[in-house]
Amino acid sequence: MMDTHIAVRGLTMAYGSLLIQRDLNFDIHRGDIFVIMGGSGCGKSTLLKHMLGLLPPASGDILYSGDSFVNATADHREAMRRRWGITYQSGGLFSAMTVGGNVALPLQLYTDFAADDIADIVAYKLALVGLAGYQEYYPSEISGGMRKRAALARAIALDPEILFFDEPSAGLDPISSRLLDELIVQLQESIGATVVMVTHELPSIFGIATNSVYLDAQSKTMIAYGDPRELRDHSDQPVVRQFLARESASDSEQAAVS
Ligand SMILES: Nc1ncnc2c1ncn2[C@@H]1O[C@H](COP(=O)(O)OP(=O)(O)OP(=O)(O)O)[C@@H](O)[C@H]1O
């Protein structure tokens, strides 16, 4: 049950001499929907980029299923990356390609499946995200929420073990963002992936997160780790309770719309 999937160990992150966060230590368990929280500019996206191997740590390591990412060979890193699905804040779809073309891309690049099989997988993945039949549409022809779901279909094309999201609901209205949250939970359950996301959206944090870490900009390290509901009620850090207590407003908004 508490099988560690991702272990962050003594991670210190800096841009040159500018320290962002130091000595981060936490585990993400298999099947978690794990949220990276914290105030603006504390280093949430920077942490995600370190987890994705896009930035080298100043010190420390990130282990995937017990294997060091930092010390891995280039080939081993590539093999680890293949098990990840990533969706970026902007969606990151290629605008000159159809939705179907976008979802097919990782399958064409990384598998030797025949074109017919790829078409079947694309149709299936689009159906999973509620976009059955949208293969021939271009990203500009569908709504923002649909683009996010198409990006998600692309991210799950290769049946990833880990799904990474940077602010998945950024720019969406509350209803679309709730639908996206529900979809993330459904996908997590159906493909059994571990989900790691950066978000400051309290409805998402309380609605779907199973565990979280709070990065503090002031002290430049993590000051809370655990179930966000527990942290809201019991964190010994006032700043964490305050951050999470914004929930009361969101709760009454949610109550009002449901
Ligand atoms: N490439 C870079 N070079 C130098 N400093 C950077 C770079 N990218 C980000 N920073 C700085 O690092 C700090 C952390 O940035 P980051 O984007 O990780 O924060 P964040 O918590 O994701 O912020 P937000 O919630 O506002 O998106 C910020 O002070 C930012 O200005």
- In the chain, % of residues over pLDDT 70: 94
- In the chain, % of residues over pLDDT 90: 72
pLDDT in tens, 34-49: 999 999 999 999 999 9
Q: What is the pTM of this model?
A: 0.89
Closest among 91, 84, 87 to 193, alpha carbons compared: 84
Domains of the chain by start residue, with CATH: 32-57+74-257 (3.40.50.300)
User: Which residue's CA is minimally distant from atom 9 of ligand 1?
Assistant: 46
pLDDT in tens, 1-31: 579 999 999 999 999 999 999 999 999 999 9
Number of H helices, E strands in the chain: 10, 10
Residue 255: predicted pLDDT: 41
Q: How many CA atoms lie within 13 A of 60 on its CB side?
A: 22
Write 239-243 long-range contacts (CB < 8 A, 24+). Answer: 240/214, 243/37, 243/38, 243/39, 243/214
User: Is 45 a pocket residue for ligand 1 (Cβ < 6 Å)?
Assistant: yes
Q: Is the ipTM of this complex over 0.85?
A: yes
CA of 40 to the centre of ligand 1 (A): 8
**Cβ neighbours around 96 below 10 Å, total:** 10
User: Is 38 a pocket residue for ligand 1 (Cβ < 6 Å)?
Assistant: yes
How far apart CA 77 and CA 69 sit, in angstroms, is 6
CA of 22 to the centre of ligand 1 (A): 14
pLDDT in tens, 47-84: 999 999 999 999 999 999 999 999 999 999 999 998 99
**Chain-wide mean pLDDT for the chain?**
90
How far apart CA 190 and CA 236 sit, in angstroms, is 36
Substitution site in 37, 46, 52, 165 for ligand 1 pocket (most atoms within 8 Å of beta carbon): 46
Which residues on adjacent β-strands are paired with residue 224? 214
Is residue 96 scored above 70 in pLDDT?
A: yes
pLDDT in tens, 148-188: 899 999 999 999 999 999 888 888 888 888 888 998 999 89
